[in-house]
Amino acid sequence: MKLKPLLSIGLLAVAAFIAPAQAAAPTQVTGEVLEVKDVAVYTYLRLKTATGETWAAVNKAPVAKGAKVTLTNVMTMENFESKELKKTFPTILFASLANSAGTGAAPATDPHAGMAKAPAAMADVKVAKASGANAYTVAEIIAKADKLKDKPVRVQGKVVKYNAGIMGKNWIHLRDGSGSATSGSNDILVTTLASAKLGDVVTVSGVVHTNKDFGAGYSYKILIEDATLKP
């Protein structure tokens, strides 16, 4: 998560992700842009700040070298690898870009944008329960969260929301027809390095984690992490 992360497309695709330590960070950083590196949907900035130089990553924006920028919703990540840049950053700031002189850009969307809290509804989801050891329905995993914490599970369901390459992982919302939308027991979040498409029916094998906090107000009572997928 090496990382860690956020809503319409989030931050940074990477080949591998091994949860790095998250250091404390100020909520806002201002600095002069010394270097700009654009990739598909993100902009990396090398900044000169009051406390020294640092790299930052924001949603892609037309930022000019020499511009003065202000970053908000700042989160510090350590040992973060960018596959697109073929570079590992010992420390990097994940942030939103506020309106700043010389950027010509509106505020960037929240860096956790890819991990929207409520996935779009997908009607008529009805998927058979996975077979084999540690097999559960979505509703069963949510109901037994305390008992299943840090334990492996298997669950089969339909991908109702998919965001790739956010903080080094792909983020999937999975439903199988069990549970209730009212109680929130019909949908579970999965992180994985494997790829999927909206509407795919997959079998997920991973570890249940509870009360996971990615910072900037994005926390989850339950999710399945480091998952593998099978069609």
- Structural domain spans, the chain: 1-114, 138-230
The DSSP string of 202-221 is EEEEEEEEEEEE-STT-EEE
Q: What's the pLDDT at 117?
A: 47
Q: What's the pLDDT at 217?
A: 52
Ranges of the chain with pLDDT below 50:
1-25, 100-118, 216
Strand partners, 71: 29, 97
138-230 CATH pick, 1.20.1090.10, 3.90.1170.30, 3.40.1360.10, 2.40.50.140: 2.40.50.140
Which two tokens mark 66?
């020499």
Give yes or no on whether 1-114 and 138-230 have one common fold. yes
DSSP state of 23: P
**Residue 73 CA to chain centroid, in angstroms?**
15
DSSP state of 25: -
Which two tokens mark 162?
């998919």
Q: What's the pLDDT at 213?
A: 77
Distance CA 228, CA 123 (A): 25
- End-to-end CA, the chain: 24
Distance CA 187, CA 137 (A): 10
CB burial of 167-176 (b: ≥16 within 10 Å; e: otherwise) equals bbbbbbbbbb
β-pairing verdict for 68-82 and 28-38: antiparallel
Q: What's the pLDDT at 123?
A: 61
Domain 1-114: state its class.
mainly beta
141 phi and psi, to 5 degrees? -65, -45
